[in-house]
Structure 1
Amino acid sequence: MRRIAFYAPMKPPTHPVPSGDRAFGRALMAAMATEDVAVDLVSELQLHDGRGDALRQTELRDLARRETARLIDRLGSDRPMLWVSYHNYYKAPDLIGPAVCARLGLPYVQIESSRAKKRLAGPWAGFAAAAEAATDAADMVFHVTAHDLITLKRDRPPGQTLVSLPPFLPRADLPEAADCGGTGRPILAAGMMRQRDKLDSYAIIAETLAQLTDPGWHLWIAGDGPARAEVETLMAPFAGRVRFLGRLDADGMADAYEQAALFFWPGVNEAFGMTYLEAQAAGLPVVAQDRPGVRDVLAPGAYPAPEDGATALALAIDALLSDPALRRTRGAAARRRIGQDHLLGSARDRFWSAVAPLVGGVR
């Protein structure tokens, strides 16, 4: 059996904390694997610096050098057919893959990389330069959103191939459809509870709830994290209408989707959002803002612009809550979209059709 070496410098798929990065990393490993090809997670070294800390970046570079030497020694006698790195960017550059591939003569592929030349100055300057160099070294880069393609195409070196790989769920078929038009069903929101972008989305949710006119609305929130207290404070004015479900596993989330009327998440700075895919696969209509990345995974429709604020989101939710038939229609359309473009089979076909020339057509 031939093998693919897989590495995720941002967050390994084995990380104990759930997140979109972890979920999509696992999905990628499932999509690349076939009856004849195994996918090996060759390193769990996390090279993420979220603070712009020069000392931390130096420490991570030292760890990466040692890990590179280890992998060259290990893989040199048992070469994989291909190296794939997931989510190389300025806060988590791939400091390992390019060196290993250059030494062992392996094809080097990246998935969901982003370029940020504006970061070549400032606290992440060195890491940003390393991320740019890693992307320059890639034979092929798969982009998962139209937003990432803009800079990847602009700064692409000669000979590099760019390929679309729409975000997908790691399953071959759709789950059973929920009856989102049923009476008394809650609005469902789901997201990690942490500072900055996630907390900003929760703040927009609170602003939106204050403007809802439907008299029977109630909200379920799935998620947990270090900003739980801040989220609870935001929701305090709606005591009795908001229920915290905590962190749910896959079965728990499936049950929440099955019971909901709609899924609501504004999507501040989301890369794309795995929960949007899951909710739509279950047949839920989605209320979100029209943001880069997010729009790549939403069924066609009218989504409020961020500048339209909470008022536009409240109008969209009220319209859905007051019209069960509309919920069912939009949920069914979303479900069809996921089935057509965002499941495991289509992702596997896209990946192998693209990389076949790099690996001699083996699949």
Structure 2
Amino acid sequence: MTRVAFYAPMKSPSNAVPSGDREMARNLISAIKLNGAVVDLVSDLRIYDKTGDPQVQTQLRQAAQAEVERLIQDLPHDTQLWVTYHNYYKAPDLVGPAVCRALAIPYVQIESTRAHSRLIGPWADFAQAAHKACDAADAIYYLTANDLITLQREKTHHQTLAHLPPFLPYRNLPAASNLRGPMLSVGMMRHGDKLASYHIIAETLHHLTGSWKLDIAGDGPARAEVEQMMAPFGDRVRFLGQLDRETLQAIYGQAGLFLWPGVNEAFGMVYLEAQAAGVPVIAQDRPGVRDVVLTPDAPQPEEGSQALAAQVITLVKDPVKRKHLGETARHGIAQSHLIGATSKLFWATATPLLKEI
């Protein structure tokens, strides 16, 4: 039986507040467990500085040092591998490298980034710590081609870089959509990048012709702004609110196509969910997004909302093409983006590193 220590400095999988980071951490634990391994969540300590505050960083370093000292004493003696999820300049792993060095445990990371632009400025110390944590890793699993660029450039001589595509926590595909329902958009309604995607969707709708409808699943502090954007379209746009997984899956099962531009998405789990149901995706060709959107010919962001609208119009008018694209994407999800494939990829790299007990 393999024993694995798991740590997520950005946000613990036990955190009470839902988020994509928490969901991904939980899914990774499930994937690692698939081969029968025991996974211990060894720390809930959150190392996260949102604003670049030196005082916050000092306090977090002190807390991390105390956690290192505790874990050197308390970590199960038969731990064979340490896994850290999401090490980056706002949330560097200040715990894992020191513990692994003291106890001679192999250390790996999943979804880590090196940000040279942050080596000066308010996050400089934390950015450097994130780089050092990357240097210490025996293996780093990267999720997107964009992350690979700097990881490859600064790879240490002993280090393995392995691709671990974003994935869904399913062993099998859900039921396929009948593609008879309205278009669908799914996204939190918060200020910043999510609201920017909603702006592009509203602009896209202004360019549409013919008969169309859009369902929007999601909620959040920017809902009033989103509703105002969509007001000109009347009852053609329906707000579904925040949905649980089962209800959202039923919505995917009827959606005609999925529309989400993807402004600054790391990759976007909603794209995988839609395509798993055979719903073709219309998005912009952006870093991260292009790693998970399997529908071809996504327009460049600089082509604007008119290019997205042209794709919507084409697919709405051509149900045969829409079905073909959805089936092709669904096949791609089955091949590379379900939990079984992820578990195999993880262990293919991790097994040679295991500490002998």
| TM-score between both structures, scaled by the size of structure 1 | 0.94
Q: Which letter maps to 1:44?
A: D
Q: Which residue does the alignment assign to 1:273?
A: 268
Q: Number of matched residues? A: 357
CA contact (8 A) 2:189 2:219 kept: yes
Q: Which residue of 1 aligns with 2:207?
A: 211
Gaps of 5+ in 2: none
Checking the alignment, whether the CA contact within 8 Å between 1:272 and 1:294 is kept in structure 2 is yes
Residue of structure 1 in register with 2:107 after alignment: 108
1:161 aligned residue: 160
* Whole-angstrom distance in 1 between the partners of 2:72 and 2:231: 54
- For residue 233 of structure 1, report the CA deviation from its aligned partner: 2.3
Q: Residue 200 of structure 1 corresponds to which residue in structure 2?
A: 196
The alignment partner of 1:142 has SS state of: strand
Could you tell me which of 165, 181, 186 is aligned with 2:182? 186
Distance of 1:361 and 1:207 partners within structure 2: 58
Structure 1: gaps of 5 or more residues: none
Query: 1:24 touches 1:274 (CA, 8 Å); kept in 2?
Result: no
Tell me, yes or no, if structure 1 residue 351 matches structure 2 residue 350. no
Counterpart CA distance in 1 for 2:178 and 2:65 is: 53
Q: How far, CA to CA, are the matches of 1:20 and 1:192 in structure 2?
A: 10
- When normalised by structure 2's length, the TM-score is 0.96
Identity %: 57
Q: Is the CA contact (8 Å cut-off) linking 2:105 and 2:355 kept in structure 1?
A: no
Task: Report the Cα offset of residue 321 of structure 1.
Answer: 1.4
- Structure 2 distance, partners of 1:2, 1:161, is 20
Contact 2:282 2:295 in 1 (8 A): no
Deviation at 1:35, TM superposition (A): 5.1
Alpha-carbon shift at residue 253 of structure 1 (Å): 1.4
TM-superposed deviation, 1:198: 1.1
Tell me how far 1:286 sits from its aligned partner: 0.1
* Residue type at the aligned position of 2:233: F
SS in 2 for 1:299: coil
1:102-251 alignment, distance < 5 Å: 102-180=101-179, 182=180, 185-214=181-210, 216-251=211-246
| Contact 2:82/2:106 (8 A) holds in 1 | yes
* Distance in 2 separating the partners of 1:99 and 1:331: 47
Matched residue, 2:63 = 63
Match of 2:327 in 1: 332
Task: Report the CA distance between 1:239 and its aligned residue.
Answer: 2.7
Alpha-carbon distance, 1:141 to partner: 0.3
Shift of 1:159: 1.1
The residue type paired with residue 3 of structure 1 is: R
CA distance in 1, matches of 2:91, 2:177: 38
Partner of 1:312: 307
Q: Point out 4+ residue stretches in structure 1 off by more than 4 angstroms.
A: none
